[in-house]
Structures are given as structure tokens and as C-alpha cells.
Structure 1
Amino acid sequence: MSKSGFKDVEFDKSKPEAQRPLGSVNTPPDSPKRKHRPMELPLHKASDHGSIGHRRRTSWGELEGSLTIPVSPGSHNTIEVPSLRSPDADSTQFMHNLSATPSMRERRVSRNSFGASLPIPKSKRQSRLSSVVYPEGEGAKAGLPMSATRDILTAQAQDVHSEKVQAAKNMAFVFDIDGVLVHGDRLIPQGKATLDMLNGDNQLGIKIPHIFLTNGSGKPELARVEQLSKILHNPISTDQFIQSHTPMRALAEYYSTVLVVGGEGYRCREVAEEYGFKDIVVPNDIVAWDPTIAPYRVFTDAERATSRPRDFTKMNIEAILVFSDSRDYATDMQIIMDLLRSERGRLGTTAADPVSQRIPIYFSQGDLLCPTEHPTPRMSQGAFRIGLEAMYKALTGEELERVVYGKPELATYKYADEVIASWMDELHGEERVPANVYMIGDNPASDIIGGNMYGWNTCLVRTGVFQGGDNDEENPANFGVFTNVWDAVTAACRKELGDDFGFKWDARKMNPVLHDSHAASAVEV
């Protein structure tokens, strides 16, 4: 039994890794215990081999996947992370009874194709569009530049408690957003207090590193952090923010002409343009060119005026990128199926071989459910993907090979390391990943399983998807289950910084003009 109270998972080394329980992908019982990142998988530069998803034979005699994508010559800004695969990759089980809801227990991993890799940016954040975003109409708050007096007082407090300062710099928080800090556009009250404290409203006046890791998507990063800053009444930087499609900027080095699907209006086209994709097509462009391709779609004059039609029988779309939830399942699924069954992405054609001539398709995340303002979670991009997989199997008899980013994929967590280290450098001048990383999430099937497999401390909150018992039975949080984000963060701080750590800054206790006790006792709480 581990210290956390959960049974250690025993390895069955006679089985291939893909057939082991998901809990077994962590460090085997006889390996040295590590506090952070126990699982080290090989990373590859994009120029290391000729294609992603190159075929190779496994130890049990099967050929790994044929999903290939081109590599740009001389690429230096990308690394490739092996994808995860669950044993339940066959979509047949979802076609027996179309009214059955796929089991979350059986779909804990994104079911990526064998051999697929997920490219992510190798360098520091490439988009420093905003250093700090301030909430509109707010005065000086935690996280904003401090006055000279506050600087002096916090330096004094940190000198007195140097050990706590080092401990605070050796921990970091990774927050899911929907269901943890907000419900759609509504603030979860404890979210603001939590960020206030981490941004300096604490005993030491110190900023404790934290980033945001969400499977949400559909907007440019700057637009999303501006929106969140207003809701949370705290400054959020693009440099500490990861949406599900943020790591997909790396794919701009691989593809030129892409179909981008999902999101409101043309927001996802804006995202793709910002990421560096050269030739971006959205479903509206195709419907404007040929309305008969989507016979049930009512296409408005306003949509036609803002679309970019052309003759799509004279060009090849190289890849399909589902950046966000579809706003029109019927149209988007029809166009995607036409492209997947075409000859190398040319509309108006039908491939003789639906496998070798198929273009790749990428999904930004795989969540089946997402918390919103509605009382119960709504279906998300994972449901859209399941439908496509079942349709493709029914029409071609073949399994759909595809790649899924987002939590719980390893690539997303490795990219999070890049962002944490960069943010640590901005806050404290130390470009490194702290030893004690805490993932705060509401979805056991993405936030918790991903954090567990990556060696993070995981905290499950009850303000979103999870509404269960003492802990999730299939993917238990290893640090615990908490009522809300404040309870989770303060519990982690007490563990790392001591039970006497104060969660409020009190200038009176540090300022000798306002408080006549000695400075050494001034920071006591």
C-alpha cells in the first residue's frame, strides 16, 4: 500500500505494454521512486526520420501504424512525442448499439494509432503576445507591479522565512479551467481567492508559479486570457496558458494546406493563421463553393460573404485539424468524410485504397464530456470523434487512424513542462520545472489520469465533471479529492510550506510604522 492509501499496481511483464492496466505505465515497483516525471519516453527531433508514424514491427509481431506526415527539411523547432494507445482501439464496440453511451472506463486514453507521434514546439513559447493582461477597471491587485514600500516589505518577509521562499519556488500548480475555476463565463467563487493568493496575496508576498492547462479551445490564446482575466479578476499571461490546440502550432512545419474545423465563426481560422499555417480552409469555404455538399445546411448571405470559396477539385488538402467542438455536426462530418475517402485530400474524388491514400486527421482533445453552465456536463469533441470513427468504419470497413492532442496525452504534459520552466524564468529568474507539481482538475478521465501517469500530484475537485464518492474508482487522484480549488491549493501549500503558512498578506504586520513589534515577528500568523 502506498503512502497515499492506494494499492501499488503490479506489473505483468509477460504482457505487451498496451495490454497492461493504465496504472502500470508509471515506474515499476522495483524502480527508484521519483517525485516528478517517472516516465521518460524518447523524444525525437522532427528531422530524425522521414515521417511521423513510420511503420515498425513490435515485439509481438504486429506492424505499428501507417499514419505518416511529411517533415520539413531543416526543421529545428519541433520535437515528436510518442502517443498513447488504449487496448480498446477497435470502434466496432460503439456500433453494436448506437444508443449506448461509450463507457468512460473503457475510453480513458485517446486511442491514438500505433506508431503515431505528436509534434510539439521545442523552443520557448513562440507567441509572447501579452506579458500580463490586467482586468478592466481594476486598480493595484495581487500580481500587478508592487509599490516601492510593498517591495521592501515583501523582501523583508522573504529574508526572514528563506526556507519557505525556497519551498514556494519549488512547487507549481497546473489548473484545468472549466469546472475548476469557471463554469463557462461564470466564476467559481473560490477561483478568484486562489489566484489572488498565488499571485502574492500570502504571508510572504511571493508569487507561486502556476499555469493553465485546458482542453478548451476555439479562440486565439490572447482572446481567451483577456476573457479569463476579466472573469477571474486576476492577470493572466499568454505565457502561462495552454489550450488543447496550443501545441498543434508545431504542425505548421509539416503542412501547408489544411482544413480547420470547429469553433465559433472564423475564430479557428484566426488561430491557425497565428500559428503559421499558410493556406487555411474552413467548412464554410467548401459550402460556399458547392452548397450541394451539405444538403441540409441553410447557408446565409452573411456566411457566404465572409467565406473564401475556390475550386477544391483542383487542389489537395494535406491534413484535417479539428481545433474545437463542431457547431454543425452534419456539415462538418460530411466534409470530413468526403476528404478522408478522397484521393489524398482532393474533393470530388474517391480513393481506390481508403488507407494508403487517406490524409491524416488531428483532434485537439478527446474529452467526451465538458462542464458548462448547464446543470450536467455536455458532450465535447470526443463524442464528435467517436461518431466519425464509427461512420468511417461503416463506410470503408477500416479503422480510422488519427492523432489526438490534449489531456491525457503525454505530449501535452511535456509541453506543459516547457511552459512551466519558461514561466518560472519570468517570475523568479530560474528556468526549471519545480520538483512538486500539482494538477488541479475535475475530470478523472483526462486531468487526473494524465497527471498520474506523468508523475504529478493530482487533486480532484467536485465543482465540475466529477460528482462521485470518496475518489474516482478508475482514476483516483493521488493527492486527494477536495470540495473546491481553494481547498486543494491550500492543502498542497500546507504540505510544502508548513501548517503555519499564511494565506493572506498583511502589510501592518511588516511595516514598523504601522506595527511596533520587531520585524522578525511581524510575519507571524
Structure 2
Amino acid sequence: MSGRSFADASHGAAQQALSTPPDSPTHSHAPKMSFGVPSHRKNDSYGSINNILEHGIAIPSSPTSPHGTAIEVPATRSPEAHANQYMNALSASPSTRERRLSRNSFGASLPIPRSKRQSRLSSVTYADVQDALSSDKSRPGMPPVQPTREILASRVQDVFSEKVAAAKNMAFVFDIDGVLVHGDRLIPEGQRVLDMLNGNNQLGIKIPHIFLTNGSGKPEAARTQQLARILKNPVSTEQFIQSHTPMRALAEYYKTVLVVGGEGYRCREVAEEYGFQDIVVPNDIVAWDPSIAPYRVFTEEEKASSRPRDFTQVEIEAIMVFSDSRDYATDMQIIMDLLRSRRGRLGTVADDPVSERIPIYFSQGDMLCPTEHPIPRMSQGAFRIGLEAMYKALTGVDLERVVYGKPELATYKYADEVLASWMDALHGEERIPQNVYMVGDNPASDIVGGNMYGWNTCLVRTGVFQGGENDEENPANFGVFANVWEAVTTACKKQLGEDFLFEWDDRVNPVLHGRASAIE
């Protein structure tokens, strides 16, 4: 099934779920989405309240464009909250075999940015060659030496035109943690794969690849710089998607938001870059009223860097969980206070926990995440399930919530936008290659999402998955591999031929007469 057909099918499934009669066996008694429009946006261009209650969050219209700058992607999950599954046993997960779809609540919609990001080509750098070309002290007054590698690669590509066409019709989408790195520690095959895809191959051609991670908590530029340093390869922000990257579209909806998670105040920086106007973090609230988090030891340094104010006079319009919480007790207490408040005003308790509830968004839903520790650690999904269980215990109703990240359809549609832009940067063709390979280590996110979106999925054993021949719940459709190098080279041999070589050979230069290059 292609990505486009899956999108249509998902939309149909969502519409069918919306029309399910109350006595249907699949009908849930959870309340419909009650996310309201913020007071400063309650005009006709943002849709009526009835439309929001019926179809989830309305898509606002931009003052300069009748269609706005966001795309609405319907959620495709059944209505029940995940807390129902986990109240007694933490065992269930999204499954292709059981034909579950995404993680989201009934009637939800996930806005993603409409316009494509502007791509900038991240060229391969051959340090020894570039150093020789950067200063031509031995040839004063002479034109600079031409980059021999590029000239030779162009000629080789002319000879192997069929392989070049196939290379331009394939692309790789990489999860990061557990596939290319473990935290800050390099998985050696990850560097080798990127060397090859960035041009160190028989054709000297760049094979398109992007990074799609449920990791989060830092601005994209900071994360790509860190990743490039670890992998010793260029990584551009224009080929990089964190779990909260598509959430930049939500800045068009909400002015005052609570942003949760991440180290220090990095997630505030992320939200500012995304265009959110009034950003509150938990420390701001604790600095205003320390009694709101009775078990928190709040330092003078933290207080000095906070932005306290009288939050009884502030209407927080939405909650954004951008990254893993560093303080579960404080973050959960503040989130629960807001979810039970009257339209996001602290110090109040709503008479109706549904009609006055503000929306809450999570950037991803993974239960586990591979780190430098030998056993995967709990991730944002565990935090969300805890919130769902507490909310239901206190109010008696399921918590409606919206979850981005893999395996949610919106994330894959956004990946299409990024991949098409990166294809344009590399090869001057703004399109999605026909053969896309998702390489991941987590069957419940990387594999189930890729399978449902129509990609070829490769499961590696260097992260979360440590099972048998394949995952029983979410089997990878292209295969299971020891590491990312085996996955990528197997895919390349299928598309480019068994004789394709995974290293550039400078001896193709006829001047050398078969001798190794003096550059090597």
C-alpha cells in the first residue's frame, strides 16, 4: 500500500469511527474531544465551537492565506484511552497484527506545517582533498584546482546511468537512538553507512536519507550539530525530524502554552523558535508558588532563571509535552492542576472536567527508549500513561490527548515533505522516491508506522528489539538485521544490483593507470 493510499484509508477509518453508533461493540463511551478555541481566536475564521466538538481541533485561517499554513491530518486511533489497557498490566502496544492504528484519541486532528522547509545542500567533505584545494600556494596566479572526485564521479555516473537512476529512486529514513548511536556513543556501523550514502560508493553519488526520531528536547540545530560530531558526517536541519518538529504548526493555534520536559530551559528555546508567543514552563509556576509542588527542592539558581507571575490571572490555552520529564512529581502535579482547572487557570477546579478542559499534546508515545544503559529506559509514553490513569482516577473519565511522533500518520506525512525537499536539494527533483526504507530498532513505533505507511521496514538488533527471527506483533516487512550496515547494504543490492560496490575507488582516474591515488 502506498503512503498516499494509506492516508486516504486512514481518513476513511477515522470518519467511520466518528459515525459508529453508540450500541456498536467498537463504540467507546469516552467523551468527544472538548478542546475549545482560545479566547483570542474565537472568530469565524477559526471555525465554530460545534465544528471543533464534532471534528476535533479546527484549522485556523491565516490572515494572508485562505488556507492557512497548516495541514490537518486526522487521527486514526479508536477512542479509548491507553490507561484502560495499563491499569493492571503494562503489556499492550500498538500492533500491526491486531490492525491497531495510531495512538490518538477519538476525533483528534494533528496539524503539521503546510509549506515545505527550504532545503540547503549538506555537501560531503573530503578533508584531505578540501585542504589541498583551499590554499593553492604552489600555483600563485593560477586558477584553482578542479575537484577531481566530482569530475570523476560525474563520468562514472554517465557510464552507469541505470544504477544512477535507481539510486535516485530510493531513500532511507533512519531512526537514531538504537540504530546509529546509543546516547552520545557511536554505533560504528552508523558512521560507515553515512559515509557510503554521502558519496563513498561506486558511483560517488549521494543517496537521499533523512533522520526521523522520537527523540526530543533540544532545538534542531543543536541536535544536528551533536549528531554530526558523533557520526563524523554532515547532518543538516533540513533532513532532520524530531518528534516535536511537526508541532511547530501549533504555534498558529495557541498563544499561552505550558511546555514540559527536557533539560533545563531547552524546550522553552524550542518553543520560542517555533513561534509560540507566551511560553510557561513548570519552574515558572513553582517560582511563583512553591507550595504547588510540595516535594520539590527549588534552588535559588532555578528561581533566578524562572519567569514567575500571578498564574491565577493567566489562562494557559494548551499543554505541550515536548520531551521526557526530568521531574515526574512536579510536572504531573502541575499538569493535573491545569487539566482539572477552569480553562487553564491555576487555582480553580472545573465543575465539569470535560467541557472546560484545555488540550494536551505529547510529542511521542514510546514506552521505552534505548540509551547507554544496557536495558532500555522508560520514555514519554510511560509518563503519558501515568497521567491518563491519574486523570481517570480523579475525574472518572478518560483523558483525551493528542500524540505526535512515530507511528502517527502525521509524522510520516511530514517526513514526505522533508524527503521531497531533500531530493530537490540533492538531485534537483522535488519528489518522493519510489523505494523508501525505514530502518529502526523499535517494532512498536519505527516498524508499525513504516508498515502502515507503505515503506519497506528494516528492524535492527542494536536497540530496543532483542527478539527472535522477527517481531511477532509488528514484523519488519523487509527483514531483521544485525545492524544498520547490513540493512542498508542489503537494500542497496536489491535496488542497485548485487555488483554494487560500497566504496569509492580513485583508481577510476585514467591518469593513475590503475595505481592508487596519491591522495589516499
**Is the shorter-chain TM-score for this pair beyond 0.5, marking a shared fold?**
yes
Could you tell me which amino acid in structure 1 is paired with residue 86 of structure 2?
F
Contact 2:124–2:199 under 8 Å retained in 1: no
Please give the alpha-carbon distance, in whole angstroms, between the structure 2 residues aligned to 1:42 and 1:242. Answer: 24
| 2:232 corresponds to | 233
- Kept in 2, the 8 Å contact 1:133–1:237? The answer is no
2:112 match = 120
Match of 2:513 in 1: 515
Change over 3 Å in CA distance of 1:134–1:495 after alignment to 2: closer
Give the fraction of aligned pairs with identical amino acids, expressed as a percent. Answer: 73
Structure 1 residue 55: deviation in Å? 13
Deviation for aligned residue 1:515: 2.4
Q: Which residue of 1 aligns with 2:141?
A: none
- Asked if residue 111 in structure 1 is aligned to residue 78 in structure 2, the reply is no
Structure 1 residue matching 2:450: 3-state secondary structure: helix
CA RMSD after TM alignment: 2.7
Tell me the equivalent position of 1:382: 381
Equivalent runs, 1:427-438 vs 2, <5 Å: 427-438=426-437
Q: Which runs of 4+ in 1 moved over 4 A?
A: 53-57, 61-64, 105-110, 137-141, 144-147
Do 2:367 and 2:380's aligned partners in 1 also have CA atoms closer than 8 Å?
A: yes
How big is each residue's C-alpha offset from its partner over 1:130-172, in whole Å with a ceiling of 9 and x where there is no partner?
A: 764999x96558xx99952112100100000000000000000
SS of the residue aligned with 1:81?
strand
Q: Is residue 80 of structure 1 aligned with residue 56 of structure 2?
A: no
Contact 2:94 2:103 survives alignment (8 Å): no
Structure 1 residues 69 and 463, CA, compared in 2 at 3 Å: closer, same or farther?
farther
- Report the equivalent of 1:462: 461
In the other structure, the counterpart of 2:33 is: 66
Q: Which residue of 1 aligns with 2:399?
A: 400
Q: Does the CA contact (< 8 Å) of 1:121 and 1:247 recur in 2?
A: yes
Aligned to 1:253: 252
Shift of 1:110: 4.9
The separation in 1 between residues aligned to 2:15 and 2:487, in whole angstroms, is 42
Q: Which amino acid aligns with 1:40?
A: A
Partner of 2:55: none
1:43–1:79 Cα contact (<8 Å) kept: no
CA deviation string 1:158-194 (max 9, x = no partner)? 0000000000000000000000000000000000000
Q: Residue deviations 1:65-116, cap 9 Å, x none?
A: 3243544333521001011315763623423x4xx43333679755311110
Amino acid at match of 1:77: T
User: Could you tell me whether the CA contact under 8 Å between 1:182 and 1:191 is conserved in 2?
Assistant: yes
> Which range moves more in the overlay, 199-208 or 108-117?
108-117
Change (3 A) 1:55 1:315: farther
Letter in structure 1 aligned against 2:406: K
Checking the alignment, whether the CA contact within 8 Å between 1:42 and 1:82 is kept in structure 2 is: no
Instruction: Kindly tell me the number of residue pairs found equivalent between the two proteins.
Output: 468
Equivalent residue of 1:39, what SS?
A: helix
Distance in 2 of aligned mates of 1:184 and 1:119: 30
Q: Which runs of 5+ in 2 are unaligned?
A: 38-45, 47-59, 135-144, 516-520
Segments of 5+ residues of structure 1 without an aligned counterpart are: 1-26, 28-33, 45-52, 518-525
| Shift of residue 42, structure 1, vs aligned partner | 8.2
Equivalent positions of 1:290-309 (< 5 A) are 290-309=289-308
Partner in structure 1 of residue 171 of structure 2:
172
Distance 1:177 1:208, change over 3 A: same
Please show how residues 6-405 of structure 1 align to structure 2 within 5 Å.
34=2, 37-41=4-8, 57-61=18-22, 65-70=32-37, 71=46, 72-74=60-62, 76-86=68-78, 89=81, 91-95=83-87, 97=88, 100-104=89-93, 110-125=102-117, 132=122, 148-405=147-404
